[in-house]
Structure 1
Amino acid sequence: MVPVKFRYEYQYVNGIMLHVGHLGPDTGEKIFFLHGFPEFSQAWIKQAQFFAEKGYHVIVPDQRGYNLSRKPLHIKDYQLKILVNDIVALIVSVTADPVVIVAHDWGGGVAWVLAQNHPGLIKKLIILNMPHLQVMKNNLRKNPKQMLKSWYAVFFQLGIIPERLCGLFNYKALELAMVKTARPGTFPRDYISALKKSWKQPNGLSGMINWYRAYFRFPVHTGAEIIVPVLLLWGAKDTALSAVMAEQSIGKCRNGKLIVFETATHWLHHEEPEKVSHAIYDFLNG
């Protein structure tokens, strides 16, 4: 495929300005891709190109606190219910029809709650390596292995220290957190450079880290069954999220399907872009 670029625009939704990428025909079925930490909309370029060529209208926001979207200063502005309302407002601003949601990592956290609270907005839901949030909560309380894997979430609760350490030596710690937990050669140098440019934006690090801070300080109800059709894609080599949570998450879905990528890590959409895209496409057309 010939490399493409998103058509970016700013959209004012839920009281905030979001930087939103578009690809594919405006009249096509709407498919939203929600990135996770510490990425931004560009994380989905390979999947976006695949679906744009299939006739979909791809919509990829830089979520609140990331890249060129607004980055409120206060932790309370990153409550999960607010992050969800950003996407609700974005969806209704572009269509009156249910949409497809594809989400990874913390984008998946937003997507799970979106599906729980606003099922009428979603046609089908695809999650990559993010457990149902009630499953995550249970494992953080009762699963010592997951508690250990999630040490960084506790570290992020510390004042300004995480921002200072993450920013040292040209964001080396953040870079290594991705590169060392992915298969060798997963992230091209130009993508790492694009990530660093996004992290260098004013309040860029705090904006991302405040998602973790707000999650622990402003809990939301996450126990409801998910009634929309769900496809959960899981890289079995994820070093941060235990694979046991994948099956447990499917148990929270009325109509759920799990596909495990045995040799992929947390970054499966980068490592196996064609397999991920085809798995999503087959699910949408099955």
Structure 2
Amino acid sequence: MSSQSGLSCEDVELLVDASGRRVEVGDVTLHVVEAGPEDGELVVLLHGFPECWYAWADYFRPLVEDGYRVVAPDQRGYNLSDRPADVSAYQIDELAGDVVGLVDALGYEKAHIVGHDWGAAVAWWTALHHEDRVRSLTVMNLPHPTVYRRHLLRDPAQQLRSWYMLFAQLPKLPELLAPVGDWAVLERMMRSSSLPGTFSETDMERYRAAWSVPGAYRSMVNWYRALVRDRPRPKRRTVEAPTLIVWGTNDRFLRPKMARESLSYCADGHIRTFEDATHWVQHEEPVAVARAVIEHIDDVWWTPNNTPDEAGYRPV
């Protein structure tokens, strides 16, 4: 594959019938990969840094086999999606707006939102500010925004773990250093912070293709720049949608105590921890994490008040 062309679903064997296309969601157009029955409940999978839609490659098949319509976008700035130039375009309100715009464009009222890392930050924000559009929430290794803010301000141990956020504020330097040695810094970061063998050479080749899209890495770093400049606070604290927190406890970047603290900000929250996993829990435990996600959204969807006759569709 060309390092300049990005990563499409045609470059990956997903074991399901999937397609990629570009979808207008407001002021940007997102590249999305989608699969599953068009009348299935919608599941939106949000990747984190420094990944792209491919972060969820292992999740298409189990979700589709359970009857869900699965959509994994490249979030704005990443891979094949639009890359606005201004840092302000990456404020968290804009990113959550993309999710709502995507749900609208796909013709749904609500969606099950699943996110990891930065994708979890967008998922939390969407559930807090667009609660009427979120049927269920699943977040992986990123705490509730109020918890995260508190620890960044008061917890020296977490401040030390988050040093990279300050490095990202430097003008131009992160963009200049990252591609050196065929993206050696990013590859080393991912491999050293995950369990041995988590990312194959094929995985890294695919991510390098996404990182090499002209302007993409600058946009990816701009997420961090926008966060520090804007310092947003959610308008409300409690997530009303049923919430599952998935956490790999050997996370190099985030203290595990924040996972349990986040439960107090969920009206209906549950936590599933993986003691041997790291920040990259969805890659290290794909079968168990997929099962946990499906059980969570099945429980939300299949209730005594949501029978096949009333809902018109029941995933099987």
The answer for the alignment partner of 1:118 in structure 2 is 130
1:60 aligns with 2:34: no
1:185 to 2:200 alignment: no
Amino acid at match of 1:49: R
Structure 1 match to 2:33: 21
Structure 2: distance between partners of 1:98 and 1:277: 21
- How far, CA to CA, are the matches of 2:217 and 2:56 in structure 1? 21
Shift of 1:2: 7.3
1:281 paired residue number: 294
Aligned pair partner of 1:136 in 103, 126, 148: 148
TM-score by length of 1: 0.97
Q: What are the ranges of 5 or more consecutive residues in structure 1 without an aligned counterpart?
A: none
RMSD value over aligned CA atoms?
Answer: 1.3
How big is the shift at 1:190? 1.1
Structure 1 residue 283, shift from structure 2 partner: 1.4
Once the 2 structures are TM-superposed, how far is the Cα of residue 153 of structure 1 from its aligned partner? Answer: 0.6
Aligned counterparts of 2:93 and 2:133: Cα–Cα separation in 1: 16
1:249 aligns with 2:262: yes
Q: Distance in 2 between matches of 1:62 and 1:183?
A: 25
Q: Any residues of structure 2 matched to 1:1-286 within 5 Å, and which?
A: 3-4=15-16, 6-222=18-234, 223-286=236-299
Question: Helix, strand or coil: the match of 1:257?
Answer: strand
Secondary structure (helix, strand or coil) at the match of 1:285 reads: helix
2:312 maps to: none
- CA distance in structure 1 between the partners assigned to 2:37 and 2:268 by the alignment: 30
Asked if structure 1 preserves the Cα contact closer than 8 Å seen for 2:79 and 2:213, the reply is yes
Q: C-alpha deviations, 1:73-132, integer Å up to 9, x for none?
A: 110111111111111111111133321111000011111110001111111100010111
SS in structure 1 of the partner of residue 98 of structure 2: helix
C-alpha separation between the residues in 1 aligned to 2:34 and 2:27? 21
- For each residue in 1:43-78, what CA deviation from the matched residue of structure 2 results, as whole angstroms up to 9, or x when unmatched? 101111110111111011000000000111110111
Number of aligned residue pairs: 286
For 2:125 and 2:198, the matched residues in 1 are separated by: 30
Query: Larger radius of gyration, structure 1 or 2?
Result: 2
Tell me, what secondary structure is at the counterpart of 2:178? Answer: helix
Q: Higher mean Cα deviation, 27-36 or 88-97?
A: 88-97
Contact 2:17 2:36 (8 Å CA) reproduced: no
